[in-house]
Structures are given as C-alpha cells and as structure tokens.
Amino acid sequence: MKPAKINFPFRIAKRANITNTKAWIIRGISIVAALLVSGIVCTLFKPGSFLDFYKGLVVGCFGTTNYIFELLCCISIFLLLSIAVTPAFKMKFWNIGVEGQAMIGCILTAVILLLMPSAIPGPLVIIIALLASVTGGMIWAIIPTIFKIRFNTNETLFTLMMNYVATILAAVTIAIVSPGGSQTFPLITDPSRLLINIGTIKYIPFIIVTILFTVMMYFYLRKTKEGFELSVMGDSINTARYVGIKPHWIMFRTMLISGGLAGLCGFLIVCGKEATLSKTLVGGRGFTAVLIAWLGHFNPAEITIFASLVGILEQGATYTAGLIKISSKKYFSGVIIGLFILIVIVSEFFVNYQVRFKSKNKLISNNKPKEAK
Amino acid sequence: MKKQFKFIAPLALAAIMATSCGGSNHTRYVPGTKLKVGLICLESSASTYDDNFIKAFESACGKATEKGQMDKNGYEIETDIPESQECSQAAQRLIDKGCNVIFSDSYGHHAFMKQMAIENPEVIFSSATGDDAYASGVQNYHNAFASIYDGRYLAGFAAGKYLEKKCSEKVTTPFKIGYVGAHPYAEVISGYTAWYLGVKAGLADAHRDNCKMVVSYTGSWYDEDKEYTTANSLIKDDKCILISQHADSKGAPRACKDNNNTPNVSYNIFEDPEEFKDSYVASSRINWEPYFEQVIDSTYQGRTIAGEIDRNWTGGLGTAPASGSVNYDVNDSFVSEILTEMLTKASNLKSGIEFVFDTKNFTVKDHPSTEEGGPNEGKDFLTNNEGYLTHFKPDITGDFIPDKEEAVLSNGGTGTHVAESYYRSAPYFDLLIDGITIKSTTK
Amino acid sequence: MVTLIPLALRAMAVYIFGATGDTIIEKGGHLNMGVPGIMFIGALGAIVGESLYANNIPADQINVVLAIIVPMIFAMIFAGLAGLLYCFLTVTLKCNQNVVGLSLTTFGVGFSRYFIAIFAEMADSNIPVAGDMIQHLFPNYAQAGAFGEMFLSGSFFTYFSILLAILISILFVKTKVGLNLRAVGENPASADAAGINVTAYRYIATIIGSMVVGIGGLTYVLDLKSGSFAATNDVDAFGWLCLSIVILSAWRSWITIPVSFAIGLLDRLPAALGLGAGPLGQFIGILPYIATIVVLIISSAISSKKMQPPAGLGQNYFREDR
C-alpha cells in the first residue's frame, strides 16, 4: 500500500542569492516575532503579565551594575562555547561534544585549584590549571576525531557520548574529593587562586578573555590561510584535496582548537566564576552553543549577536519568572530560549528558500491519481 | 572592520553604564524601622523540604507585619537557587531589594552565605543547617538548626509501640528495620541513631535486643528514583519490617506503599497524607517559624550588634506535638492508644529528665576507632569495658577532624549523655553504634 | 537479585519504547536528537490524560483498560505533534536535522518540565487508584515463586514493549512498507527515482516513531514512577540513552530488548547494592556510554554492512539537489 502523494498549493525553490540587507530584515523580523511570542507565552502562564515580561528582561539584565556584569558573564559562556564549536562546524565536523570538553576543563581546574599544595604560589597554580584544562579539552576532542579519521566513525554520536562520560567523571570526582561523603565539592576560597574579582567588580577576566578569542577567531577564519582552508573543506572535500589541502590534518588541527577553546571555557567557568565543581556546571549550555553557532552562520560577529540575545533571555526570563512569581521558575527560561531558537530557525528557511504559490490551473492538472504499482 | 563594531559597541556601552552607575550602597539597618527579610530556597514548594521553610517563613512574616515590624510585602523569596554561585547572586538581588536579614535553607548554600556575609557586614546572613558559623568567627554569619533528634526519637518511639501492638508476632524474634539516608555524615548519622534508639525504647523490654537496623545511602538529598530503589531493596532484600528516611522526596514512602504498605516513618511529610495513609505510622519535622520570628523580632529590637541573637540557634520541642521547633505526629488511627506515653516522653526530653543520647542506651563495641577502614576510624572516643561511651570529642568546626570539646556530659547525677547540638547548632554525633549496619560498601 | 529484576524490567520498557520509536525514525533517515524532548512531551501527555480521566471519574468506576488507553492516546497525540513539528522543520523547511533536534529537546524538556511541575503541585501528585491498577498485569504473579516475582510481575507496558519491538522488526524485514522505509533511509535519491514518496514516508515514519517514543514517556510516569508526577524529572536522561541503545542494537528493534534490559539492570544496580553514595556507584553509570562508544568504533572499523547506520542518516533530501 503506497501512501498518497500530498499536493501542497505552493512551490518551494532555493534562492540563487539574496542580498545581505534582505536576509537581515527577515532575521530581524523573526527575532522581534520571537520576543513577542515569548511575551504572549508568558501571559499564558500568568495572565496579565505581558508587559512584566519585558520589564523583567530589562531590569534583570541591566538594573544594577551587578546584573550587567552577570549578564556579560552569562553571554560570555555561551559566546566562548559557540566560538569553540565554530571552526569544527565550518568544516562540517559535527562536534556537539563541547559540553563534555568544557566539563573536562572544569574538572581539571577545580581539582588543581583545590588540591595543589599551598606552597605553590597562586599565579603558578592558575597557569597549571589553565594548561591542564586546555590540554584536557583537546584530548577529549581528539579521541572522536582520530576514529573519524581512521574509520569514519560517526562524530555526532561519538562526541555526544563523550559528553555523558565527562559529566559522570565529574560526579565521580566529586564523590572522591568531597569531605566526609557530602557529595559537595568544597568552595575554593583562596583569592590568589581565583580570577573572579577585580576590586568589587566580578567576572572581568572571563569577559575579556572571551572578547579576545572572539576577535581572534574572526581573524583566523576570515584572514588566515588556515581559515580559508576550513571554508574550502566545508564546501567540498574533493575540491579541498584537489587544491592540495590535506583533510585529515586539517580535521585534527581544527579539533585541537575546538577542544582547546572548550577546555579554556571550562577553566574560566571554575576559576573565573563558580570556584567549585558540580555535575551541572556547564548545564547544557554546550548544546545551546551549538545552536547559537549555527544561527550565526559560523561567523563570530553574528554569533556575538545571537549569544547576546540568548544571554539576555536566559538571565532576563529567569528574573521575570521570579518577578511575576511563576510556579516552577527554573524551567521558564528553557521554554523561552527553545521557542526563540525554533522561531529563528524557521526564518532561516525563508532566507534560503523562496515560496511561490502555484497558479490555479497547475493545481487542478496535478491532481491526477497515481496508478498503483 | 565594520563587523567588529557590532559587538564592541554594546559592550562599550555596558562599560560606560557600569562606571557611571556606581556600586549598590547598602546602609545599616536602624532598629525600630520597617524590616525587610529574604529567604533563599534550594528548590520550590514542589519539594517538601523547601515547602516546610516557605510556609514557616511566610507565617512568621505575616505575624511580624501584624506587629508593625514589617510592611505587608516586606519579604522576598528566591526559589530554585542551586548550591553554586547562583546563591551569591540571589543574595545580591535580595540585598539590592533592601533586605536586612537573609536566610538560606540548604546545607550547600552555607559557603556562599559566608562569603556574602564577609563582603556585606551590615546584613545578617543565616544559613539553616549550616555548620561553620561557630568556627568562622564572622559576626553577621549565623547557623540555625533544631534538636530534630528529639523528634526522630519520638517518632521512632511511636513506631516501636506500633510494632509491638500491630506486628507483635514479628518482634518476638530478631528482626530488622531500615533507613534510607542521604549522605554518610553527622546530620544523617545523628538522625538515624536517634530514630533507632527511639524504636528500641518503644519496644517491650524483652524484644529490644531483637531490633537491628540497616542503613543504605543514596548519595543525594533529593533523588526520587534512588530513594525508591533503596527502600525497595531494604524491604525486599533485607526483609526490613519498618522503614524511615532522611530524604526530601516521596520515593521511600512510595516504595513502602508499593510493598504491601510496609510501615513508614516519614520526615517532613506530615499529618496522615492521603497518599500513604496505609503505611504512614509517624513523622517528625523541624518547624522553622519560631526561629524566623525570633530573628525578626530581635533584629527589630536592635539586639544584633552585640551578637545577642544566638549565632548557633538550636530550637527544641514545644509543649505539644505540633508546637515548638521540633514537631512530631502519629497516625490518627493509632495515636489515641499511646498519646499519654508520647506526651510524657516528650516532656521528659524537653525538660532534661531523659536524653536521647543517654550513654546507657547504646554501646559502641563493634567498630572501634582503631578499625582499619571502619566507619568509626579516626574518631576520638573512649568506651568502658561494656562498651558504653565515656568520652567523645566530635568535629565541631566542620573540617571532619575531631576538636577539643568534650561531648559526653553529666546528666546531673544519674549518669551521662552525649550533648548533641550543644557546641554548635548542626548535629555532630557521627559514631556508628552497635546494632546498626551500613549496607553500602563505601564510606 | 529478586528485587533488582522487576525494577530493571520497568526501566527496560521505557528504553525499549524509546529505542524502537527512534529506530523507526532513524531508519527513515532522520537523526532525531529531539527524542529526549519528545519522550518528555509524551510523559506530559500521559499526565494530562491521566489527570483528566482519574479526576473526572469516581474512584469505584475506574476501568483499568481505560486507565491505560486514555493516557496512551494523549501521550501519542502530544508526542506525535512534536514529531510532526520536527518533520515540518526538517523535511518541508529543509532545516538542519541536528539543529532542529537539539532545539526541540531544549524546548520540549523545558516546556514539559514546566507543566509537569504545575500538575504535580495541583493534583495530589499521584493518582493512587489508577496507578495501582497498572502496576501488575498478572495479579497472581507471586504464586509462581521467585520466577514469578522476577519475570511475571511486570505491568502491561513491560510485555507490550517486547511485543511491539518484535513486531516492528518483522515489519522492517518482511513487509513492503518496511522495506520501502529502509530504502528511503539508505538512499533517498534512488528511492525517489523508484517512485517511493520520500516525503510522505519520512513524515509518517517520524510521526509514528515519535508516538512510540511518547509511549515510552508514558511508561516512565505510570509504571516506573508508579504514577507520581513529582517524580517525573529526568525523562530526558532516558531519552539520550535511547539514542545510544539504537546504536548498540545496530538499528534492529528486537535487539533493543536485551540491550535495554542490560541497561535497566546497570541503572538500578548501584542503588540496590547500596553503592549510591560512593564513587563506584557513580562510575557504573558510565558503562552504557562506554559500551556505545566501543560499538561505534568497532562497527565503523569492520565496516560490516549489518552494523551500519542507514547511509542517508542525518541528511535532508531535497529533490532539486539531485
């Protein structure tokens, strides 16, 4: 029994090209639409709260200096992870393992910062933690890569599994290190081993490092030979080989960068923000980062915009949830962000494809029943 | 170059705003003016643990409002705050809203509360169930707890009586009771030891030695799944005829219900819940309202600067089962049979005539401190020839190393007892006494 | 052992439904990373259906069969709609499968958790009567001694999951529809040339597969968690593991049965042994993922046709690209 052919009344055609302005107008509309829909959803959850949603967004993100720096740090985590993902995705290597690679960085940093003998000076401990995290992230990323190179093992699934292994390793580490079986990793309080505060302002190191690497990645992808090689590989592996690029070496090198950046992010999360270790330290932001990188077309400038939007939604929506006293507050931002991303994804369709309505004659003539086979 | 401006511009704007706004200035509270208080909760009302705090907090604030100490909306509750830097951020939000006193409800919040206390000396930070205020010396950082061991003992006492009257055939020969614990440290150990001693006290003299307890840890304060499986295993594999738990979900009561309504003594689930009505025997909980009232009142009166609020506050039993800081409850269908005995026992505990950790109630022979890899390894205690405790120096500072304070104190002529929650509010009794076995193979 | 197996069986059923449903979807060529979200949405549907039914019928008139069917219909509708959304975005709107899948999971998990938490607070967080009835399909299982205790104490869902997995396997091997779907997953271009309606097959496979995944969510709530809404909090962890199980079963749904059972055992083992608190107990949780990685490596190394994913997995098909 064959399923019948469904006749849509319109035709979908891929656009040959589209002006940048037009594309951004479409995207801009979708972003505004997404924000409007979020407000409507909020009203559905708690009637009468439409305006409060936006008030919460603004106040929760910009209300005090503290909030602003928290926001910048929140954005930085998304941004740095998205930047980590970018080179890999640009050559169509689906590294969704940044979550795990960052977590490895977190584990190594936390253990080193906590357990290094106090005789070793603070700055040295920090440097050791940094090097260890970057290396750890690299190793975590290279393992799936090696098998991809050798056996063409599916990297999407492999990197996904590595995420869970990393999370469980975090749990095991906490179980081993936590005093008296309390399952809580102690808070690292030695200020010489932390990079959180400069005076009373928090998170500056995190933010600065993120901006630095974002700019560096921009230049790397746009202005260097290696960046060019990546784009070629992303378009077609055969073309790349023809031009003399060695795909396997590029894959290897790129994943080192990707994993290293993710490990760096893990280091910053512990040393520059949390000062402890827990299973939920990365908290799924690695996955969101993949989505942000994709939405930003793997262009660091665009990624910054989307990371900022997601950060504002994350912090703002949570603040709103507290403001209007929604029940089950901790899941509210997840709903809003998920919705936002879905709507913007739909807009991508309209950027890439044109929808033309079929004329009435064509509809009628296409409606012949198919012969059964 | 144009693209770079896209993201540098907003950041520069933020920096400008930051420097021009200036920091948030928090001024010292003036006694006699309207107070503002905040509560930081690990989860939300969906969790029995936090619900307990939230209800007590709202009630205390309501009373304070009536007394004119607070405005009607003079309190804020931050829910779903995990034990991470988010706690510091939540505290900061509360400070920005003008709170003069901030409470937190979960043990894991305490490190962050202490940090914030050091950074904000004009605000009082009180971490319920925290254990290091005593040692920290930070004047505006407090801990609070209650003598929940009294409550667990009484609930156990009721359960022991229950077994005698309703399961009499099972107690005439050796039998086991089970306990689902979260983590293997003092707060939990003290709790289950008190419960065990209570059950034994409720049994008839001839049957007391038949009762042994098995403890199994889940490794988490709130894990419905693990608690269910652990309780299930205790009932099915270890043949426990009575279960209690120190865990925040309903996993263990559910397992009891699913297993032919095995009797269950609850924690924080109170007053004959409809769901578990056939397995519910008794329950205990901490009522935080008296503490909140006391802190609000004292702060309003200005009794904070000299540290007159007890920085290690330990609430106790009230004059009735549902009053005071430690509440207990017994299944309605059974309570009338034992009410008088319960009230007498409670009264004796409250007035110091009897003690839960009276040294003649238990022995510590099976696991000496010299036992390699044993549960009592490295702990500082001495027993006499029969195994009764004569000396015990627990860890008070929270670093899991014994301190110098002696916990075995005199009863005033009739013997000795371990003074729990005396040097600090959080419990510190963490010895494994005879009659209890730990099921897990790790520490 | 006696206690471990019944619990493992309950978890196994959830995994089987999830993995079988995902197998159907993946055979059609879709690597649907939205499965955790879909499973959660199915659980939400089950909760809605269960609440509607049990709250509106007096306790003594509750019919066991309806108590199973009503939530099942709701779970299937909710999950099916989620699958439809996924399909619309990937097949009709040509969006990248990984991205849509991840977004659906992010959204679905948050959305479901939010509403389930509300239901949990509203209702008595448990529908005692209906939940009780569903637990055991053979009420007299205890009479068969230890064997009965272990293997006959399952609920309707335990046995239904096994039956379904076997039926689906047969479908893929013996029926025209199944073979056509496999063709669509292996090489959509040739399938299209042969006259198979790729779009229709992908839509139907994804929607039906999602429904089956949704039943997994329902099993989680009503069976594994004995109907407790408040306990429904990590459905997505099961969902992610189902993606693993599909790989470990080499995309054959009858193999999901033993694999799911093994993983169900591993899952429950630490708590039953009392290892919950220690590093060892945590470490046991790694084993399913390590096993999956090993299988991934081996199957790609030996390039055996039998263990490969459908060749067209993860690729959208756009006719004009041909």
- Report CA dihedral (A59, A60, A63, A66) to the nearest 10 degrees: 180
Give Cα separations from A163 to A166, A287, B179 (angstroms). Answer: 5, 10, 34
The tens digit of pLDDT for each residue in B372-403 reads 878 888 888 888 888 898 999 998 887 778 88
B104: confidence class by pLDDT, cuts 50, 70, 90: very high
User: Which segment, B47-56, B297-306, C54-63, is predicted with the most confidence on average?
Assistant: B47-56
Closest CA to B242 of B187, B203, B292: B203
Q: How far apart (Å, rounded) are the C-alpha atoms in residues A354 and A362?
A: 18
- Strand, helix or coil for residue B214: strand
A107: confidence class by pLDDT, cuts 50, 70, 90: very high
pLDDT of residue C128: 53
Q: How many angstroms away from the CA of B264 is the closest CA of chain C? A: 17
Which positions in chain B touch A330 (Cβ < 8 Å)? Answer: 44, 79-80
C174 touches chain A (CB under 8 A): no
Average the pLDDT over A178-183 and give the result: 68
Which positions in chain A touch C177 (Cβ < 8 Å)? Answer: 1
Of A181, A275, A305, the CB nearest to B443: A181
User: In which residue are the tokens 């999602």 written?
Assistant: C210
pLDDT of residue C322: 46
Is residue C123 within 8 A of residue A347, CB to CB? The reply is no
pLDDT of residue B270: 66
Count the Cβ atoms, other than its own, within 10 Å of residue B340.
9
Average the pLDDT over C183-206 and give the result: 86
Q: How many angstroms away from the CA of B105 is the closest CA of chain A? A: 16
Q: How far apart (Å, rounded) are the C-alpha atoms in residues A203 and A207?
A: 6
3-state SS string over B247-267?
A: CCCCHHHHHHHHCCCCCEEEE
Please write down the long-range contacts of C69-72, taking CB distance under 8 Å and 24 or more positions apart.
Answer: C71/C45, C71/C46, C71/C47, C71/C218, C71/C222, C72/C46, C72/C215, C72/C218
Beta strands in A76-228 (DSSP E): 197-198, 201-202
- With a pLDDT cut of 90, the percent of chain B lying above it is 28
Which residues in chain A (6-45) have CB-CB distances under 8 A to chain B? none
pLDDT of residue B26: 62
Q: How far apart (Å, rounded) are the C-alpha atoms in residues B421 and B310?
A: 13
C133: confidence class by pLDDT, cuts 50, 70, 90: low
Give Cα separations from C149 to A111, B37, C7 (angstroms). Answer: 46, 54, 11
Closest CA to A323 of A55, A34, A47, A43: A55
pLDDT value at C104 more than 50: yes
pLDDT of residue B127: 92
Which positions in chain C touch B250 (Cβ < 8 Å)? Answer: 125, 228, 230-231
Is residue C243 within 8 A of residue C269, CB to CB? The reply is no
Which residues in chain C (128-147) have CB-CB distances under 8 A to chain B? 128, 135
Q: How far apart (Å, rounded) are the C-alpha atoms in residues C108 and C44?
A: 10
Which positions in chain C touch B232 (Cβ < 8 Å)? Answer: 3, 7, 272
| Mean pLDDT taken over chain C | 81
The tens digit of pLDDT for each residue in B210-239 reads 999 999 988 777 777 778 888 888 998 888
A17 touches chain C (CB under 8 A): no
Which residues make beta-bridge pairs with B38?
A: B76, B102
Which positions in chain A touch B443 (Cβ < 8 Å)? Answer: 181
pLDDT of residue C81: 94
Q: How far apart (Å, rounded) are the C-alpha atoms in residues A290 and A105?
A: 18
pLDDT of residue A180: 64
> Could you give the strand order of the β-sheet that contains B101-104, starting from the edge strand earlier in sequence?
B70-78, B35-40, B101-104, B124-128, B141-146, B312-315
C62: confidence class by pLDDT, cuts 50, 70, 90: low
The tens digit of pLDDT for each residue in B404-441 reads 888 888 888 788 999 998 888 888 898 999 999 988 64
User: Which segment, A263-277, A340-354, A355-369, C191-205, is predicted with the most confidence on average?
Assistant: A263-277
Q: How far apart (Å, rounded) are the C-alpha atoms in residues B422 and B431?
A: 17
- Please spell the DSSP secondary structure of B276-342, one letter per residue: GTTTEEEEEEE--HHHHHHHHHHHHHTTTTT--S-TEEEE-B-SSTTSBSEEEEE-HHHHHHHHHHH
Q: How far apart (Å, rounded) are the C-alpha atoms in residues B280 and B265?
A: 6
Here the tokens at position A289 are: 């980062």
Q: Which residues contact B26 (CB under 8 A, 6 or more apart)?
A: B95, B120, B122, B123
pLDDT of residue A258: 95
- Strand, helix or coil for residue B146: strand
User: Is the pLDDT higher at C125 or at C267?
Assistant: C267
| Signed CA dihedral, B132, B138, B139, B140: sign only | negative
| Mean pLDDT taken over chain B | 84
Binding partners of A (≥3 Cβ pairs within 8 A): B, C
User: Is the pLDDT higher at A12 or at B81?
Assistant: B81
Helices then strands, counting H and E runs in chain C, come out as 14, 0
pLDDT value at C131 more than 60: no
- Strand, helix or coil for residue C40: helix
**pTM, rounded to two decimals:** 0.83
User: In which residue are the tokens 């305490």 written?
Assistant: B110
Which positions in chain C touch A288 (Cβ < 8 Å)? Answer: 106
Give Cα separations from B369 to B147, B387, C258 (angstroms). Answer: 26, 13, 47
Here the tokens at position A195 are: 């990079």
A184 touches chain B (CB under 8 A): yes
Average the pLDDT over A281-293 and give the result: 90
| ipTM for the complex shown | 0.82
Average the pLDDT over B112-123 and give the result: 91
B311: confidence class by pLDDT, cuts 50, 70, 90: confident
Closest CA to B245 of B283, B272, B210: B283
pLDDT of residue B174: 92
The tens digit of pLDDT for each residue in A27-65 reads 888 899 999 998 888 888 778 888 888 988 898 899 888
Is residue B9 within 8 A of residue A307, CB to CB? The reply is no
Q: How far apart (Å, rounded) are the C-alpha atoms in residues A92 and A84?
A: 14
A82: confidence class by pLDDT, cuts 50, 70, 90: very high
Is residue A314 within 8 A of residue A300, CB to CB? The reply is no
Q: Which helix (H) or strand (E) holds B375?
A: none
Of C95, C177, C199, the CB nearest to A345: C95
| Mean pLDDT taken over chain A | 85
- With a pLDDT cut of 70, the percent of chain A lying above it is 91
Closest CA to B195 of B357, B363, B331: B357
Q: Which range, of A103-117, A143-157, C130-144, averages the lowest pLDDT? A: C130-144
